[in-house]
Amino acid sequence: MHRSVALLLTVLVALCAISSPLAAAATAQPPNDDIHIGALLPPQGAPGWAPVGEPSYYDASNLYLYIDGQAEFYIDFGFKLLVSGEYKKAGEETVIVADIYDLGDKDCALGIYTAERDESARPVKAGVEGYLSGSILNFWKGRYYVKLSAAPPSDGIGDVLTVFAQAVARRVPGDSDYPVRAQRLQQAGLVAGTIKYSPKSFLGHSFLTNTYSAEFRIGDGAPFRIFISESKSPAEAMAAYRKYRGFVGKDKQRLFEDLPGLGDKAFHYVDRFGGEFVIVVRKDYICGAAGEKVGEAERELLRKVIPH
């Protein structure tokens, strides 16, 4: 009887271990992706810096084990796979960790890069865009977001990380171009380093998805933002436009007017705090400008950004 109970307990413990989330721990086995993500880790990151052990792999089911508290944020940006590898140099205490995230497309790679970008960091030439902040270097290229970190930091580690990043960037597939809508925002007056991408609920509106935005300044004028939100079809874009217009129209304290001749349809409003907004629908897109003032000069810049 006692042996039967003991055997039953052993089986139950084993079953619990199998079904536990911790059973989804990182694996040294590379996933079946179209591009072997593990091959993007260089055999030598920088002169003398070699891999330590085998890399680890994560997907959406176990990413929380590696970045607990941030996993859902990455998944919202289309996260697919992560490979993480460690590098050391003989005689050095410092360990460099190289993390390569596959976000599925360049929109999301740029988006999460800009969401985490340190505005005070020093730009570096790696991938399409990168920055160095202390002992951390991040960059993006194609559908990949690469994060390098060194601990404990040592003298000259910034130069080492820069060389390391360039070695990774040479192995990462993809061109060095910004996505098309990000390129449309690269107009005169663009404030450097302000292009951002939001996959959903831009400005808190569920109907504004897949959105690029950036800050602009014309001469000595006040800064303002322009955004481009892409829908799946003209019908979906028009529905989103009408929801936005209806949302604004419910607030009797807002000054509101239609703007003929701008896009397919457009309207202008002033919110209760004095901020001005111009909202435009054009084909598959909802575009807009927002700031202290959205006058003729700001609207003319918006016209240049609106897809034709």
Same fold yes or no, 24-171 and 180-305: yes
**Domain spans in the chain, listed from the N-terminal domain onward:** 24-171, 180-305
CA 218 distance to own-chain centroid: 27
Rg, the chain, Cα only: 24
Pick the CATH number of 180-305 from 1.10.4030.10, 3.40.190.10, 3.40.1000.20, 1.10.1660.10: 3.40.1000.20
pLDDT at 255: 78
Residue 194: what pLDDT? Answer: 94
Q: What phi and psi, each to the nearest 5 degrees, are found at residue 76?
A: -60, -30
Mean pLDDT over residues 167-189, rounded? 95
pLDDT band at 273 (very low <50, low <70, confident <90, very high): confident
Give the pLDDT band of residue 119 (cuts 50, 70, 90): confident
Kindly report, residue by residue over 27-66, the tens digit of the pLDDT: 655 666 666 899 999 999 999 999 999 999 999 999 999 9
Under a CB-based contact definition with an 8 Å cutoff, are residues 59 and 26 in contact? Answer: no
Domain 24-171: which topology?
Answer: Protein Transport Mog1p; Chain A (3.40.1000)
User: Global pTM?
Assistant: 0.85
